[in-house]
Amino acid sequence: MKVFIKTYGCQMNERDSESVLALLLGHGYLAAANEAEADVLIVNTCSVRGKAEDKAIGKLGLLAASKRKHPHRIVGAIGCMAQRRGTALLRLLPHLDFVIGTHRLDRLPAALDAVRLAAEPIVEIETSTGPRPDLAGHSPGKTSAFVNVLYGCNRHCAYCVVPLVRGEEWSRSMTDIETEVRHLTQTGVREVTLLGQSVLRYGVAQPVEENDDRLGSDYQTPFPRLLQRLQNIRGLKRIRFASAHPEGCTPELACAMRELPSVCEHLHLPLQSGSDRILAGMGRGYTSAEYVAAVARLREAAPDMALTTDVIVGFPGETTADFDATRALMDEIGFDNAFIFKYSPRPGSRAADWPDDVEDSEKRRRNQILLQEQDARCRRIYQRQIGRIAEVLVDGVSVRNAQRWTGRTRDNKIVLFDPAPDIIPGDQIMIRIESARAQTLYGSITESKVPCQCT
Ligand code: SAH
Ligand code: SF4
Ligand code: F3S
C-alpha cells in the first residue's frame, strides 16, 4: 500500500506530516512518489484562515471524487481543520474515509485498518486539551529538520484558532529533545529548527497536577537553557527556532544569541500590528514600544540579525491611522521579510463575535501596500548583501536550475552558487555574494570547508 500526504499550513503541520509518514512506513506502508500512484491519500489540513480551509476542502473533494475511478483508494483528512470540524466535515465531504484530529495522529495506522472493515467513516477527535502522544519519526537524508519543543498555545490571541485546534501548551522534556537532535545529527542533519507556536514559552507553562511526572527541571527550564544544552551536540552546526514573541526576548535570550555559535542570527517575530489600540484588541500582550525594545535588545547582542514577521491587515476596528502606524513601524524595524494576511474571522475565536468591519476591498488595498513596501525593503536589504562573504549551509542541487546548487546563510537567505567537486549537502562553506534578486542571493565559493565549531 502506497501512501501520499498533501500538507497545508505551518511548519508544525509539515513536521506532523513527516512523523505520520514515518509512522506509516513503520507499519509496512510505502511512500508514493505522487498522488496518482497512491492507495492512501491523506490531506493534513490548516484552519488558520478561511482560505486555508477552502483549499483543503477543495483538495479533499477532488481526491474523494477520484475514488470513483479507484474504488479501493482511501482518502482522509487529518490536522487542524479535521480537529475543528470533526464529524461535520463528513456532511461537506461524505466520501471521506476518515477524519483524525491533531491529538490523535498516533491512531492513524489503526484507523486505516478499521477503514477497510468499517461501513462508516472513522472519526477520531480528542477534545481534551492535554498532552498528545509524541511522534518523533523523521524522513531520512535531510540536512535540516524541524523538532517540536512546545505543543499547543495558551496565548489565545483574539483572532486565532490555533489554541482551539492545538490545545493547551506543554513542553517536551529537554532529555527527549536532546535525544531526538542527537539522533538526527547521526543521520546527517546539520541544522534544526525548534518549533512552538510561541516557542520562547518553552519550559514556562505546564498544565500539570501536583504529582504529575512532567514537573521538574527537565520540563521547566527556560528556553535559552535548552539552546545551551543543544549547542554541545556533536555535528549540529545550526540551531533556529520559531515563532518568537517579544515577551520571551529577554536578556538571557539575547545572551544565548550572542554567545552560542550554533544559534543563527535570524528571528521570526510576528508583529501583527503597529497600532497599540489594535495590539490590545488582538490581546497580543505587548505594545509597539515593547516590541521595539525587544528588537533593540536582540540587535544589541547580534547586530546582523535578520528579522522576519507576520502582519494582519483589516482586524476589526482597524482605521487608516492604525494601518499607518503598522506601515511606519515596519519601516522603522526594517524587516528582512514579512508575511501579510487579510484578517479572516475564525469561528470560536473571541474576535469572531466582533463586526468584521473593514471591507474586503480595503483589506486588499492595505495588503497590497504592505506587500509593495516590503518588496522594496527586501530588495534594498538583499542588494546590501553584495560583496559580503557569507557562511552557507549547503542544501544541494537547486530544484529550479540543476546547474546550480543552493544553500542558506545563517540569517536564512537563500544563496545559489556553482558547485565544486568536493562539496556535499550539509557542508558549511564560505560564499562571496555577487548579485541579488528579490529574495535570492548569487555568489561563488571562496572556501569549501569551514572548520567545525562543535566540541
Ligand atoms: N504562533 C504564531 C502564529 C501562528 S499563525 C505566532 O503567534 O507567532 C501564523 C500567522 O497567521 C499569524 O502570525 C497571523 O499573522 C496569521 N493569522 C492567524 N490568525 C489569523 C486570522 N484569523 N486572520 C488572518 N491572519 C491570521
Ligand atoms: Fe495564535 Fe497567538 Fe498562539 Fe500565535 S500566539 S498561535 S497567533 S494564539
Ligand atoms: Fe499551523 Fe494552520 Fe494548524 S497555521 S497550527 S496548520 S491552523
157 pocket-lining for ligand 2 (C-beta < 6 Å): yes
Which ligand 1 atom is at minimum distance from the Cα of 48? 19
249 contacts 297 by C-beta, under 8 angstroms = yes
- 292 CA distance to ligand 2 centroid (A)? 19
The pLDDT of residue 205: 63
**380: part of which helix (H) or strand (E)?**
helix 360-383
- The residue among 134, 246, 238, 159 whose CA lies nearest residue 198 is 246
User: Is residue 430 pLDDT above 60, yes or no?
Assistant: yes
Q: Residue 78 corresponds to which cell in the numbers above?
A: 487529518
Q: Which of 46, 102, 160, 350 to mutate to test the pocket of ligand 1 (most atoms within 8 A of CB)?
A: 160
Ligand 3 interacting residues, C-beta cut-off 6 A: 9-10, 12-13, 46-48, 80, 161-162, 165-166
Determine the average pLDDT of the residues in 425-453: 89
Taking every pair of Cα atoms in the chain, the longest distance, rounded to a whole number of angstroms, is: 65
Which ligand 1 atom is at minimum distance from the Cα of 244? 8
pTM for the model stands at 0.96
27-46 pLDDT per residue, tens: 999 999 999 999 999 999 99
User: Is residue 455 pLDDT above 80, yes or no?
Assistant: no
352-365 pLDDT per residue, tens: 999 999 999 999 99
308 pocket-lining for ligand 1 (C-beta < 6 Å): no
Angle at 113 between CA 107 and CA 118, to 5 degrees: 110
155 pocket-lining for ligand 2 (C-beta < 6 Å): yes
The pLDDT of residue 207: 55
Which ligand 1 atom is at minimum distance from the Cα of 243? 8
User: Positive or negative CA dihedral for 253, 236, 433, 382?
Assistant: negative
Determine the average pLDDT of the residues in 91-112: 95
- 426 CA distance to ligand 2 centroid (A)? 33
| Nearest Cα residue to atom 2 of ligand 2 | 157
312 pocket-lining for ligand 2 (C-beta < 6 Å): no
- 162 CA distance to ligand 3 centroid (A)? 6
Percentage above 70 pLDDT, the chain = 96
162 pocket-lining for ligand 2 (C-beta < 6 Å): yes
Domains of the chain from N-terminus onward:
2-124 (3.40.50.12160), 138-264 (3.30.750.210), 389-447 (2.40.50.140)
Which ligand 2 atom is at minimum distance from the Cα of 161? 1
